[in-house]
Amino acid sequence: MTYLLDTNIVSYILRRNATVGRKLRDANRSGQEVFISCITYYEVKRGLLYANAMSQLAEFNQFSQKYEVLFLDDIEIIEIFPGFLNRWRSTTWNQPIRFAIHWYLESIAQAGAVQGSIVLMQAAFEILAWTLLVEEKAIISQQEFKKLPADEQLRRLLSQCSVPLKVPDSLTNLLKASKELNWVDGAQALTEIRNAIVHPNPKKRQKYLNRPFPGQIDVYKLGLWYLELILLNLFEYKGKYFNRIANKEFYQENIEAVPWV
């Protein structure tokens, strides 16, 4: 059997998680091949550099010398993400894709902490929604799009990408807040929190931000999950992925098919 370590697993290893460490040692003893994906390599390295975690960075550099980093060539990218190169080469899509991936990585690294990451993700949603709904599919006009509230822009983007709108049951804190505040779906919950963060009126800002912080953590997780699925859909990916919000006990239980398959 061959193992490909993702960002979550590498993070657990660097934090010396006993269960993950034991599984890695078992794989080594049984002669299994263990690799690190190039996406994980750069994601972890950038996060450690951003946090100025030099001791962990040195440890990660040693770790990545022990386990080979797998890089993708153009053929593999086409096979796994057939829509990626088409959009990357498109004058319509190239800049929005660059921005969205950059803001996604910044959000993973929690640039500006949790609240700053939520704002960055909302920016990614808006530019992707405009490009898909207005420029590529011409479902609505520029004027109609501008009149839509931010939650409806996100809602339509999610629907076009076959991403579930309902707040997942695993995000218990956000689910509770949504019921208390009458938020109809994840698009509204995410947008309301983002609006509260950037709102100049302190009363409106504190209405949501004074609520328990775990609810904001759930919004952050939901935003990352949404952005990951939107990008995977745009890149026409039809395989399995790690569902970051499933919160199941065993790692393999969190790996599932993308919703549109």
Query: Is residue 125 over pLDDT 80?
Result: yes
CB-based contacts of 214, cutoff 8 Å, min separation 6: 173
pLDDT value of position 33: 81
Given this model, what pLDDT does residue 76 score?
61
Q: 3 with 27: CB under 8 angstroms? A: yes
pLDDT at 233: 96
- Higher-pLDDT residue of 229 and 78 is 229
**Distance between CA atoms of residues 217 and 227, nearest Å:** 15
Least confident residue range of 11-15, 118-122, 176-180: 11-15
* d(C-alpha 242, C-alpha 206), whole Å: 34
What does the alpha-carbon distance between residue 18 and residue 136 come to, in Å, rounded to a whole number?
48
Which tens digit of pLDDT belongs to each residue from 52-64? 888 888 888 888 8
Give the pLDDT confidence score for residue 74 in this predicted structure: 52
Q: Which residue has the higher pLDDT, 88 or 91?
A: 91
Q: What is the pTM of this model?
A: 0.73
182 phi and psi, to 5 degrees?
60, 40
Element (H, E) at 257: strand 255-257
Is the model's pLDDT at 145 over the cut of 90? yes
Mean pLDDT, residues 106-122: 88
Sequential DSSP letters for 138-177: --S-HHHHHHS-HHHHHHHHHHHTT---SPPTT-HHHHHH
> 162's torsion region: left (phi>0), alpha (psi -120 to 50) or beta?
left
Choice among 32-46, 89-103, 143-157 with the minimum mean pLDDT: 32-46
